[in-house]
Amino acid sequence: MRSIYSVHPEDFKSYQTQTIRERFLLDGLAQPNQINCAYTHYDRMIVGVANPIDQQLELENHPNLRAEYFLQRREIGIINVAGDGLVIVDGQTYNVNKLDCLYIGKGVKSVTFASAYSDNPAVFYLLSCPAHVTHSTTLLANEDAIKVNAGGSSTANKRVINKYIHADGIQSCQLVMGLTILSEGSVWNTMPAHIHDRRMEAYFYFDVPDGQRIFHYMGQGDETRHIIIANYEAVVSPPWSIHSGSGTASYSFIWGMAGENLDYTDMDPVNIVDLK
Ligand SMILES: O=C[C@H](O)[C@@H](O)CC(=O)C(=O)O
Ligand SMILES: [Zn+2]
């Protein structure tokens, strides 16, 4: 499992493209019949993708965790972004289809991923952070997620924010997770931008059309940089950084956070005119 270490904002100012990509971009996670995870030192969040095709994939323990099994001291949120999928949790099977979310609490010993159809396989995005108590394993279908309309077409940022794991949704220790779907013709996410020094965040872009890319902006509000991101790639946002993107076409992304609180709305906005 690849490790991503924390970066100081003063050091970040001197980074060129390649260093920004090495320190923050999580590419190559989605591989057929594999689970690939990265261990970040941002709130110890693990970011991963399980892409079962014609095999079941077991979430394996990792030496970094110094645990008896993956979820001994962790919780995990799972969102499927592709074909119909199954997640087997200590022997119980959950149907997790596109845009559905499954939360699994601390103490579960066995988590297995499978696709319902090998010719239209599931792609499960995973976020796992340390947990101190057990919250119930909970499946939330997309239609039952809280939806918030944001932005507008005149500013090319009309989108729907779907909240799954948060203070008023699926209960967790520190994980907050959901996804945002851009309307056709809208390309800007999270603009106006914000930071939240209390929580790290990771974005995972999906439904990016072939041949299109996302310009993802990061850095302190007056020292922004960008990296260009493809479908099924994730990017880590340090607590001091904005996280915002504009696509060359419409797209969707999963956001997820861990840290001090579970209040989705706890953000410190950066005015558009103050960005540099
Ligand atoms: O802290 C919250 C996150 O950055 C995202 O949920 C923002 C987002 O989905 C959007 O504005 O489109
Ligand atoms: Zn945020």
Report pLDDT digits (tens) over 8-58: 999 999 999 999 999 999 999 999 999 999 999 999 999 999 999 999 999
Residue 75 pairs in a beta bridge with 129
The verdict on ipTM greater than 0.90 is: yes
Q: CA nearest 75: which of 137, 131, 138?
A: 131
To test the ligand 1 pocket, which listed residue (149, 161, 190, 268) has its Cβ within 8 A of the most ligand atoms? 190
Q: Are 173 and 135 in contact (CB under 8 A)?
A: yes
Q: CA nearest 47: which of 235, 230, 252, 208?
A: 235
Question: Can you read off the two tokens belonging to residue 184?
Answer: 């056709």
Q: Can you list the domains of the chain with their CATH numbers?
A: 7-274 (2.60.120.10)
Which residue's C-alpha comes closest to atom 3 of ligand 1?
255
Residues 6+ apart with CB under 8 A from 110: 58, 59, 69, 88, 89, 90, 91
The atom of ligand 1 lying closest to the CA of 194 is 4
pLDDT digit string, tens, across residues 119-148: 999 999 999 999 999 999 999 999 999 999
CA angle (275, 18, 79) in 5-degree steps: 75
β 193-195/188-189 pair status: unpaired
The atom of ligand 1 lying closest to the CA of 267 is 1
The ligand that comes nearest to the alpha carbon of residue 261 is 1
Q: Are 60 and 49 in contact (CB under 8 A)?
A: no
Question: Can you read off the two tokens belonging to residue 106?
Answer: 């601390």
Q: What parts of the chain have a pLDDT lower than 50?
A: none
Report which DSSP code applies to 271. -
- Does 132 appear as a known binding residue? no
- Residues within 5 Å of ion ligand 2, judged at the Cβ atom: 201
SS3 273: helix
* Other Cβ atoms closer than 10 A to 265: 7
